[in-house]
């Protein structure tokens, strides 16, 4: 009986010490077009893979006629370890983190000029 209790204790310790399968965390990113008033928040997995902006937002209010246009981007729900890089046609537009959750995409805080994100990808990891 003592052997069985000891064996069960070792088995339980081994299970609790083994690494758990890493689960991908979710992030919600919102795009806004301040000229049209369009706004859309989309949740997706922060798994470190590139996701095209048209596939995420093409069917939303910021996507129209095959184009996605936005003047700003914002993290709205995210883990504290999040890092998201937005690239448009290969050029980095911005990096969003838990400390830097908003970016003006046109680069001019005094204007609201939508940027065409039809060639953009976002890559988030937590």
Token pair, residue 104, equals 């003006």
Comparing 3-7, 42-46, 111-115, the range with the smallest average pLDDT is 3-7
Query: 3-state DSSP call for residue 59?
Result: coil
**What is residue 81's predicted lDDT score, i.e. its pLDDT?**
97
| Average pLDDT over every residue of 6-30 | 56
Domain boundaries, the chain: 25-125
d(CA 38, CA 61): 5
Confirm if 106 and 71 have CB atoms less than 8 A apart: yes
Q: What is the pTM assigned to this prediction?
A: 0.80
Check the CA dihedral 114-61-97-109 and report its sign: positive
**What is residue 16's predicted lDDT score, i.e. its pLDDT?**
41
Residue partners of 68: CB distance under 8 A and separation at least 6: 31, 53, 54, 57, 58, 62, 116, 117, 118, 120
Confirm if 65 and 58 have CB atoms less than 8 A apart: no
- For 43-91, the pLDDT digits (tens) are 999 999 999 999 999 999 999 888 999 999 999 999 999 999 999 999 9
Burial 38-52 (b: 16+ CB within 10 A, else e): bbbebebebbeeebe
């Amino acid at each position: 009986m003592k052997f069985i209790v000891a064996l069960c204790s070792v088995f339980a310790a081994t299970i609790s010490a083994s690494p758990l399968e890493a689960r991908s965390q979710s992030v919600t990113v919102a795009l806004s077009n301040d000229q049209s008033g369009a706004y859309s928040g989309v949740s997706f997995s922060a798994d470190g893979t590139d996701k095209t902006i048209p596939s995420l937002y093409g069917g939303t209010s910021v996507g129209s006629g095959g184009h996605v246009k936005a003047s700003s981007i914002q993290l709205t729900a995210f883990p504290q370890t999040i890092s998201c890089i937005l690239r448009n046609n290969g050029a980095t537009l911005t990096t969003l983190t838990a400390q830097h959750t908003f970016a003006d995409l046109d680069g001019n805080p005094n204007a609201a000029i939508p940027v065409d994100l039809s060639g953009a990808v976002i890559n988030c990891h937590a």
